[in-house]
Amino acid sequence: MGKADEADAAEVRRLQQELQRLHADLDGLDRDAPGRAEQLLTVFAATERLLDFEDQVPRRRETRLRRISSAIVYVAGAAAAVAMLVSALLMATGRASLWYLIPAVPTVLFAGGLTAAEHRAPVQGHRLRAAAVVVVAATAGLIVTVIAGLLTSWALAGVLVGLIAAGGLWASTPDHDEAGVTR
């Protein structure tokens, strides 16, 4: 459990203790006692604060996890860009055929597009988006290994599989958040 999760748990405990104290104060009053109605309203307000906070905890946690996923997206996007830069250098120096542009161009465009879209993406589906960009980065790495001669050209079939898988992961994410989910 991270510090933020511990802070949320501590706040829930504090609100619960406050509610227990207010209930105890209410139990100490007679039914006809002056101020009982106000105390009852205070108990209701404390209950509402507790329920509202508990309702927000999953969304707050998901928002924190999204920040981690976003970092993964940006790092994987950068890794794909570096791999494609290495590929371009190998082609520019004549160490690899320009035919390798066929898998490299869609891969770099896909990686760039997914990474750029992360800024506007909703909180929900962040894990799938991160996985999609990691798959694209692995695909870019596959292209580099083929260009460098570490694998045969037949391994480029994995590029098509990787790009289709990444597209499927990305397409399965929602394009908007449910009400109440914050960025």
Confidence at residue 37, expressed as pLDDT on a 0 to 100 scale = 83
pLDDT at 119 exceeding the cut of 80: yes
Confidence at residue 122, expressed as pLDDT on a 0 to 100 scale = 80
DSSP-derived secondary structure letter, 34: T
Confidence of residue 178 (pLDDT cuts 50, 70, 90): low
Q: What is the pLDDT of residues 122-143, one digit of tens each?
A: 878 888 889 999 999 999 999 9
The chain-wide mean pLDDT, for the chain, equals 87
How many residues make up the chain in this entry? Answer: 183
* Better-scored residue on pLDDT, 35 or 17: 17
pLDDT at 182 exceeding the cut of 50: no
pLDDT at 181 exceeding the cut of 50: no
pLDDT at 146 exceeding the cut of 80: yes
Helix, strand, coil share of the chain (percent; to 5): 80, 0, 20
Entry pTM = 0.71
The beta-strand segments (E) located in 20-90 are none
CA contacts within 13 A on the Cβ side of 74: 8
Contact in structure between 147 and 100 (CB atoms under 8 Å) = yes
d(CA 160, CA 166): 10
71: left (phi over 0), alpha (psi -120 to 50) or beta: alpha
Confidence at residue 16, expressed as pLDDT on a 0 to 100 scale = 92
Q: What is the pLDDT of residues 71-94, one digit of tens each?
A: 999 999 999 999 999 999 989 998
Phi/psi at 46 (5° precision):
-65, -40
d(CA 148, CA 3): 45
Report percent pLDDT > 90 for the chain: 48
